[in-house]
Structure 1
Amino acid sequence: MNLIEYPDREMLAMSVANVLAGELRKSLAVQDHASFALPGGTTPGPIFEMMSAVEMDWSRVHVMLTDERWVDEENAHSNARLVKNTLLTGFGAQAQFIPYYRDGLSAAEGAAEVAPTLKDELPLSLLLLGMGADMHTASLFPNAQGLGEAMANDAPLLCAVQPVDQDMLRVTLPLHVLTGALSTHLVIFGDDKRAAVERAQSLPPEEAPIGAVLANATVHWAA
């Protein structure tokens, strides 16, 4: 794990946006397309907005989510909605977005339908992750229903999970897809999350899923 500290969150957003845009350009220089998996939530919003203003061949960038709540894109809880309103604007509007939600299907049915379509996107060119205070990443939540299947080496490329004490079903990229990314970055804020990342390295992955992806990750932190 490589940890980079920033004096404030604005500086972190600017720097990470530049780093990610640079890595996408490098991928496009040697590949037909670059696959970019990213999280939802409010933390990466400013990073995505800055990236959308960067000029590159966005038409060859394939954007997908690390995980998604099983709701349509009009729902305020939709990660796809956030990404479309931040990254997929400006120059970024030319990128190809890969949606997960399938109207009329359950999360398990939708995941099974989408999973085979992700094969050509692997290995991920670039992976951006977030982390919860419970040390989950993507939708790999400790003790979630479906966690064991999603962390298996032969897991399908998209898995349905049900976090404990949450009514909303989710789908997530499995652990082997996350660990197989060519470049991995994690963005966290606050002393509590920094302490959680450090603690996760000594815990079993079932208790702290983020720990399973830290070995080759660059962690970007600001208070």
Structure 2
Amino acid sequence: MQIIEYIDRDIAAIGVADALASGLKNALLIQDKVSLAVPGGTTPGPIFDVLCAADLDWDRVTIMLTDERWVPEDHERSNTALVKSRLMQGPAAKAQFLPFYRAGETAHEAAPVLSETVRAQMPLSMVVLGMGNDMHTASLFPGAKGLSQALHPDAPALCPIEASSQPDVRITLSAAALKGAMDKHLIIFGQDKRAALEDAMGRPPEEAPIAGVIQGGTIHWAA
């Protein structure tokens, strides 16, 4: 793994956005269409604000989430709302978006069809990840119902997850889908996250899911 350190989080937002834009441009040189999977949460917002202005062929980019809460787009906890309001703006508004939530279906009911849709995009061109202090990434939470399936090498591209620490059922890209991406980036801020990542590298994926997917990736860190 390569670790890139930034002097502060504002500089990190610019640096990470530049790295992602460069990676996407390189991918577009060799692929007609590319796929970009991004996280929700608070960390990526400032990065999206910069990345959306990148000069590249956004109409050849399909954006999806690494994971989504099983709530409608207008729900306050929807990751889709974040992506559409902060990443798919300006030049990036030309990108295609692959939604996961399907009204009238449960995550378990929708997962098989959604998995086939995602599988058509694999291997994913670029995956951007976050990580919690519990060493989860995407919605691969230690101890969650569905984690074993999502960590299995032959898992479908998308798996439903139920974590006792979370209020919503979620759907997540499986470890195999994340690990198999051509370009992987993990963004973490703070000394606690840095310590958690170092701890994770010595643990099995069942205890530290990030350890099962980040091999060969780039770590972006700022205090």
TM above 0.5: yes
Q: Give the AA of the match of 2:126.
A: L
State the secondary structure of the residue aligned to 2:131: coil
State the secondary structure of the residue aligned to 1:171: strand
Deviations 1:37-60 (A, max 9, x none): 110001000111101111211000
The unaligned stretches of length 5 or more in structure 2 are none
Q: How many angstroms apart in 1 are the aligned matches of 2:22 and 2:100?
A: 27
Q: Give the AA of the match of 1:183.
A: D
1:146 offset after TM fit, Å? Answer: 0.2
1:165 offset after TM fit, Å? Answer: 3.0
Deviations 1:115-158 (A, max 9, x none): 11112211011110000110000000000000000011111111
Alignment partner of 1:180 is 2:180? yes
Q: How many angstroms apart in 2 are the aligned matches of 1:149 and 1:214?
A: 18
Matches within 5 A, 1:53-202: 53-202=53-202
Q: How many angstroms apart in 1 are the aligned matches of 2:38 and 2:53?
A: 17
1:203 offset after TM fit, Å? Answer: 0.8
1:112 offset after TM fit, Å? Answer: 1.8
> Which residue in 1 is equivalent to 2:205?
205
Q: Give the AA of the match of 2:108.
A: A
State the secondary structure of the residue aligned to 2:187: strand
1:113 offset after TM fit, Å? Answer: 2.1
Task: Count residues with an aligned counterpart.
Answer: 223
In the superposition, the TM-score normalised over structure 2's length comes to: 0.98
Percent identity of equivalent pairs:
52
1:166 offset after TM fit, Å? Answer: 2.4
The Cα RMSD (Å) is 0.8
Deviations 1:52-94 (A, max 9, x none): 1112110000001000000010011001100000110000100
State the secondary structure of the residue aligned to 2:120: helix
Q: How many angstroms apart in 1 are the aligned matches of 2:118 and 2:218?
A: 24
Q: How many angstroms apart in 2 are the aligned matches of 1:214 and 1:22?
A: 19
- Greater shift in the superposed pair: 108-117 or 75-84: 108-117
> Which stretches of structure 1, 4 residues or longer, exceed 3 Å deviation after superposition?
none
In the superposition, the TM-score normalised over structure 1's length comes to: 0.98
> Which residue in 1 is equivalent to 2:11?
11
Q: How many angstroms apart in 1 are the aligned matches of 2:176 and 2:119?
A: 13
Q: How many angstroms apart in 1 are the aligned matches of 2:159 and 2:214?
A: 21
Q: Give the AA of the match of 2:107.
A: A
The unaligned stretches of length 5 or more in structure 1 are none
Q: How many angstroms apart in 2 are the aligned matches of 1:163 and 1:4?
A: 31
State the secondary structure of the residue aligned to 1:199: helix
Q: How many angstroms apart in 2 are the aligned matches of 1:13 and 1:182?
A: 22
